[in-house]
Amino acid sequence: MIDVEDLIALVHNYNPRANADLIRRAYAYGFLMHDGQLRKSGEPYFTHPVAVAAILTEQHLDDATIVTALLHDTIEDTKSTYTEVARQFGQEVAELVDGVTKLTNLQLSSAESKQAENFRKLFMAMSRDLRVILVKLADRLHNMRTIRSMAPEKQAQKARETMEIYAPLAGRMGMQWMREELEDLSFKVLNPEARNSIIRRFITLQREAGDVVHKITADIHTELEKARIEADVYGRAKKPYSIWRKMQEKNLAFSRLSDIYGFRIITADVADCYRILGAIHQRWRAVPGRFKDYISQPKSNGYRSIHTTVSGRDGKRVEVQIRTRQMHEVAEAGVAAHWSYREGVRAQNPFAVDLAKWIASVTDRLDAEDNTDFLENVKLEMFTDQVFCFSPKGDVIQLPRGATPLDYAYAIHTRIGNSCVSAKIDGIRVPLWTRLKNGQSVEIITAEGQRPQASWIDIVTTGRAKAAIRRSLREEDRGRFVKLGQELARVAFDHVGRKVTDKALRTAAKMLGVSDENDLLARLGSAEITARRVVETLYPELAMSKAEEVDAKRPIVGLTADQNFRRADCCQPVPGERIVGITYPKRGVIVHAIDCAALEEFEEQPGRWVDLHWHAGRHAAVHTISLEITISNDTGVLGRVCTLIGEQRANISDLQFTERKPDFYRLIIDVDLRDVEHLHMVMTALEAESDVAQVSRYRDVTRKP
């Protein structure tokens, strides 16, 4: 484990003004909180936060981020609290640690709708403070580096999650080195035979051809000396996963794969970049279609570089990247360059991306209508490379690779996309499904009265275009769906003895997160929302009255007649949530929510797990859960909160204040509920109260079951 003084030295290398005392205190606090905890490998747990902090020093990050790395697991895994971290290390650090904790609790590889909602939370966290994501990526990188100590099935699950989510996210943020390492570490877990095969072939190739990297590096140096250009040249073989992906994409054997070596030339200024390009192309033949100028057309994450592929020594294809030193700093750090320090001050790199604009570009293009669309759009945005096309006026439009003229039209404006009838590429009329290429000029032809066609969904590739087309198609049938929705609502309300009113529909729309009553009726008519769900949302008592009453003493299916059970205090599961049981010799079965963090300690004891689920029907309001609420410190607020809970037919069984400030109180309220829908009703009512700043479910993994 890295000693605290060594860690401070790593920070002082790029930030001599760093607050060494703050880092020492955070190191000591983290060490104390994690004392006695061990990783799966048997090492002290605190070695992990220290390693994460060390990874972040490589990106020259600020003191708050380094301290957050040291403390990032304290709120989740120890007796430490948000309040304690804020008191000792300040509000900024506490917010960052809390943000990392919330991201850690996201189950990103779960069911699709839940995964989409968690992606939303991930991007929300990114928009609030990018450093939360930087710490999380470093956390995942170290976990992947030490993954061998985990059970094989857990390794596979984490590797898939890394390959699908964290590696593409690192790439989207411009941290290509991290993306490559995360991909290769995942590849090592998911397909070790293929990776080992590529490594063996590399060894054979080097034995037969000698040190190709050294030879080509020497050749490039010779050409630069002739042109009297000063530059540093670095060469390397590409990562095994990068080679494997090219083999799969191009359906080629290793022996036929040519550009497996990459070279980077770093020089002083932009003019030298183009002089170097000329020298390289004079010495070696350029491969057609393999030239990209990201200096004149930077990527959205700030990346700038010239890429060219040439036929080098012995006809071997090699990729060459040419950039300045400042461009290289951004290429290594990506959007994290915004936080980088040099000699004690925030680095002022003219090529660093504008952080606010970058976050807006990511989140704006993920404006989808529902969870399915959102998840699809996130993956489209993160996994695709870019192509650059020109408008007739010479403006540059960035699109994902594989985009069509329709994507281009919607990228300009939704109105242009909706009214598109045809397109011209470089002056020639083409079908709307044509795939765009770098450097093409695109002209969109529109007509009044044109409306999006259902077939367009399969033509476009961008999330923005897909969402706009779906929205337009839905609006086209809106009138018909609204009429059908009115009839469905009338029948459902009559069934429970109530009348459909505008006020009832407005209330239901608000509770279901729909914009207004007409949108609710349209969704009813299109079968996106059921009438039964609307009635149950407004009148749960009436909707449940016809359901069978569940015995409060035996509300769970899966237990034997002689087995006692108790809900776990750490996660407090309620009917409607997926559950699992853990057997104890003397205490019977403890029932946990399926996503409870406390279950990790039982992963190696499958014999103690019991498959359980709740009885269907109407449950009694006897299931206690804890809510953490932040309220204004004002007259009558607490009374209104208690009244709101009572109005939802929920009983308060305990209440305790955890923080008292001049302007707000934070408290934990224990509430007795029927099920997860009842919980949702209570939280919705509280969130609607203007004096309630925040309400969330309180789960404490330190509570022993």
pLDDT on residue 254: 59
In this prediction, residues 407-414 reach a mean pLDDT of 90
pLDDT on residue 27: 94
Confidence of residue 361 (pLDDT cuts 50, 70, 90): low
What one-letter code names the amino acid at 47? T
Answer whether residue 606 shows pLDDT above 70.
yes
CA–CA dist 264, 256 (Å, integer): 23
Domain 193-346 = CATH 3.90.180.10? no
Please report the DSSP string for 212-261 in residue order. HHHHHHHHHHHHHHHTT--EEEEEEEPPHHHHHHHHHHHT--GGG----E
Strand partners, 233: 265
36 or 341, higher pLDDT: 36
Cβ–Cβ under 8 Å, residues 325 and 349: no
In this prediction, residues 596-604 reach a mean pLDDT of 85
Confidence of residue 310 (pLDDT cuts 50, 70, 90): confident
pLDDT on residue 346: 60
In this prediction, residues 77-100 reach a mean pLDDT of 89
Confidence of residue 599 (pLDDT cuts 50, 70, 90): confident
Q: What are the residue ranges spanned by the domains of the chain?
A: 4-189, 193-346, 358-475, 477-545, 556-614, 623-697
Cβ–Cβ under 8 Å, residues 670 and 624: yes
Confidence of residue 359 (pLDDT cuts 50, 70, 90): low
30-54 tens-digit pLDDT: 999 999 898 888 889 999 999 999 9
Sign of CA dihedral 158, 161, 167, 172: negative
pLDDT on residue 277: 93
Residues 6+ apart with CB under 8 A from 362: 123, 126, 172, 381
670-700 tens-digit pLDDT: 999 988 878 887 887 787 777 888 888 998 8
pLDDT on residue 368: 44
463 or 547, higher pLDDT: 463
Answer whether residue 645 shows pLDDT above 80.
yes
CA–CA dist 163, 599 (Å, integer): 24
Confidence of residue 395 (pLDDT cuts 50, 70, 90): confident
Mean pLDDT taken over the chain: 82
555-573 tens-digit pLDDT: 898 888 888 899 999 999 9
Per cent of the chain over pLDDT 90 is 26
Among 184, 88, 195, 80, smallest CA distance to 141 is for 184
CA–CA dist 663, 655 (Å, integer): 19
pLDDT on residue 122: 61
In the set 76, 84, 369, 528, the catalytic residue is 76
pLDDT on residue 590: 93
pLDDT on residue 373: 53
Answer whether residue 369 shows pLDDT above 90.
no
- Our CA angle for 704, 122, 508, nearest 5°, is 85
Q: Which CATH architecture has domain 623-697?
A: 2-Layer Sandwich (3.30)
Answer whether residue 66 shows pLDDT above 90.
yes
Cβ–Cβ under 8 Å, residues 640 and 691: yes
181-198 tens-digit pLDDT: 999 999 999 888 888 888
pLDDT on residue 53: 94
pLDDT on residue 315: 63
**77 part of the active site:** yes
In this prediction, residues 143-156 reach a mean pLDDT of 89
Answer whether residue 367 shows pLDDT above 50.
no
pLDDT on residue 450: 85
391 or 355, higher pLDDT: 391
In the set 58, 77, 367, 670, the catalytic residue is 77
User: Tokens standing for 359?
Assistant: 């976050």
**58 part of the active site:** no
Q: Which CATH architecture has domain 4-189?
A: Orthogonal Bundle (1.10)
pTM over cut 0.85: no
pLDDT on residue 416: 92
pLDDT on residue 278: 92
Least-confidence region, from 44-58, 291-305, 531-545: 531-545
pLDDT on residue 420: 92
The CATH number of the domain covering residues in 358-475: 3.10.20.30
In this prediction, residues 502-527 reach a mean pLDDT of 84
